[in-house]
Structures are given as structure tokens and as C-alpha cells.
Amino acid sequence: MPAPESPLIIALDYADLGAALQLADALDPARCRVKVGKELFTRVGPVAVEALHRRGFQVFLDLKFHDIPNTVAGAVEAAADQGVWMVNVHASGGRRMMEASAERLAKRGLETHLIAVTVLTSMADGELQETGVSGSALAQVERLATLTLESGLDGVVCSARESARLRELCGAGFLRVTPGIRPASAGQGDQRRVMTPDAAMAAGSTHLVIGRAVTQAADPMAALADIERTLARRS
């Protein structure tokens, strides 16, 4: 399927496949990609990915694998065998885990993008420190992004607030996939480190994960078009 030029990834964070596909059917796969997360995938499994592929969408399988190296490498390979465009792991799983996953994809010649989560965008500095990590969220993101790059992965999930620094640190070709994206008119929800779509792209994000602003809109495609217009004004 042709790759859309758009940086937009719409989060299909639904509890059942019917609702997810109803939203997908309201969108144009030439103008966005879609994300399948833990709840939907746990409930219905690979059938969700298959159904979205049949509709022409490229899929980001957002399962954030974190386990021993061989287990995660196998899970990443299984995701890539489903033909997903992108899959992720937790960078805090360490170098051996990430290297094993990247090497497994390379050995199989699979083209799925492999990225790593740095610090969840729902976490503020104080919450991170409660887990035993000293220093700021930014410092931890920089540390884990550097480790991800050294481990041979394609990029990271990070806050848009960290994108500019990671572009400097890891290079322009290193993917910076940013959730916590909210149009100016939208609420913050349960995210902490958030930014508007145009500001996120200006800051250096390569892809934007957008949920409720599109999925809860009366006309999802119109909401997506509004975001596209906002991005066009800054280009």
C-alpha cells in the first residue's frame, strides 16, 4: 500500500473492533496512518490489523514490549510478520533487548520501523522520580534516546517538547513520534507534556499521534482536515 505523506497517526483507542473500524471508515488512508494499542489488540488480536490493512491503512502497532531480549525480539518479529508499518518497545528494557529486536528484523529482512518509548508523555518529573529515576524527564529522555540510537532502532516515542533536542542529539533521520498532541481548542486529558500539532512539527516531531481531537469529533475527516490546514499554514 502506498505510504501517505502525512505525519498524522490517528489513535484507534477503542474497546471493540466495530467502533475502531467505523472510525477508520470515516478517514482517508492516503491522508493518515492509524495506531492500534493494547486494549483493542488484547481484545481482538491480529484481526484488527488485518481489517485495517484491507482498508488500505498503514498500522502503528503500539504495544510497548518490555521483557527479556529473546521474548521481545520474538514479539517484534511476530508484529512485523503481520505487515505493520511500525512497532515499539520500551527503551528502559535496555541495550540487549533493543539490539536483539533490531537484529531479528534485519536478519529476516523485514521493513517494519522499530522505535522505543522513552518516558511516557503522561508522566511529569515528580512521577518519574517516584520510580527511582533521578533528574528531569528531559534528561531521562535524552539518555534513553541515545541508547535507542546506539542499539540500531529507527527512532523513539517522545514528547514534542523533547523533539528539538533529540533532533540535535540523534540526527534528523531519527524518527520522533509524539503523542500528547492537542489542537489549541482541545483539552489536555490525561497527558502532561502536550503541544499543538503545528508547534510539535515546528519543534522537530516527525510524526504526530492524535486521538480524541479526531476520534471524538462529529466529523472525523473534517477534524483531520482542520489539523492539515493548521500544518499547511506553517509550511
Is 69 known as a binding-site position? yes
Is 230 known as a binding-site position? no
Residue 149 maps to a domain? yes
Q: What is the pLDDT along the chain (235 residues), one digit of tens a residue?
A: 566 789 999 999 999 999 999 999 999 999 999 999 999 999 999 999 999 999 999 999 999 999 999 999 999 999 999 999 999 999 999 999 999 999 999 999 999 999 999 998 888 889 988 999 988 989 999 999 999 999 999 999 999 999 999 999 999 999 999 998 977 665 545 545 568 999 999 999 999 999 999 999 999 999 999 999 999 986 5
Is 13 known as a binding-site position? yes
**In terms of C-beta density within 10 A (0-12 exposed, 13-18 middle, 19 or more buried), how is residue 235 classed?**
exposed
Residue 1 maps to a domain? no
Is 182 known as a binding-site position? yes
Please indicate whether residue 38 is annotated as part of the active site: no
Is 10 known as a binding-site position? no
Do the Cβ atoms of 73 and 104 come closer than 8 Å?
yes
Of residues 67, 154, 219, 226, which has the active-site annotation?
67
Q: Smallest Cα–Cα separation from 232: which of 5, 18, 1?
A: 5
Of residues 25, 38, 62, 125, which has the active-site annotation?
62
Residue 90 maps to a domain? yes
Residue 29 maps to a domain? yes
Do the Cβ atoms of 51 and 21 come closer than 8 Å?
yes
Residue 44 maps to a domain? yes
Do the Cβ atoms of 32 and 6 come closer than 8 Å?
yes
Expressed as residue numbers, the domain containing 205 is: 8-234
φ, ψ at 8 (rounded to 5°): -85, 135
Do the Cβ atoms of 178 and 199 come closer than 8 Å?
no
Please indicate whether residue 67 is annotated as part of the active site: yes
Residue 232 identity? A
Please indicate whether residue 226 is annotated as part of the active site: no
pLDDT at position 189 is 52
Q: Smallest Cα–Cα separation from 208: which of 184, 177, 166?
A: 177
Residue 2 maps to a domain? no
Domain CATH number, residue 197 = 3.20.20.70
Residue 200 maps to a domain? yes
Residue 145 maps to a domain? yes
Of residues 25, 64, 81, 198, which has the active-site annotation?
64
Beta bridge partners of 60: 35, 86
pLDDT at position 184 is 66
Q: What is the largest CA-CA distance in the chain?
A: 46
pLDDT at position 122 is 84
Give residues with Cβ within 8 angstroms of 83, minimum separation 6.
49, 53, 59, 112
Q: How many domains does the chain have?
A: 1
